[in-house]
Each structure stands twice: as C-alpha cells, then as structure tokens.
C-alpha cells in the first residue's frame, strides 16, 4: 500500500512539472515544489504562475 501511494504521489508531482514546463520556473521548479509541499499546492502555484515570455525569432 505504501509503495503504490508513493508512486501516485510522484506521478502527480511529475504531472505538475509537465504542465508547468512552459511557465516561469519551468519543469524542475514545479516538480520539486510539488514534492516539497504537495502536488495540490504545486498545482496552485501553477495556477498563479506567469507564462514564460516568447523568444524573439
């Protein structure tokens, strides 16, 4: 039971990182903030995060 719960927790953290990859702090920032706090708080950070500025071509 504990291993399954840990895998679900990490999968949710990974999902928060993937969704946040185009935001200001990027994949790793959202992934680690989700691990440190909780995936729900990581997604809340994601909601308030500003998108990354587009690079000029």
pLDDT tens, the chain, 57 aa long = 899 999 999 999 999 999 988 888 889 999 999 999 998 888 888 888 888 777 776
Q: Residue 57 is encoded by which pair of tokens?
A: 């071509």
Note whether 21 and 42 are within 8 A (CB).
Answer: no
Burial of 31 (0-12, 13-18, 19+ CB in 10 A): buried
Q: What is the pTM of this model?
A: 0.79
The Cα 56–Cα 23 span in angstroms is 17
Name the DSSP letter for residue 55.
P
């Amino acid at each position: 039971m504990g291993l399954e719960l840990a895998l679900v927790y990490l999968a949710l953290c990974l999902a928060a990182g993937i969704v946040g990859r185009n935001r200001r702090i990027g994949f790793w920032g959202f992934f680690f903030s989700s691990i440190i706090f909780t995936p729900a708080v990581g997604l809340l950070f994601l909601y308030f995060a500003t998108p990354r500025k587009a690079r000029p071509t």
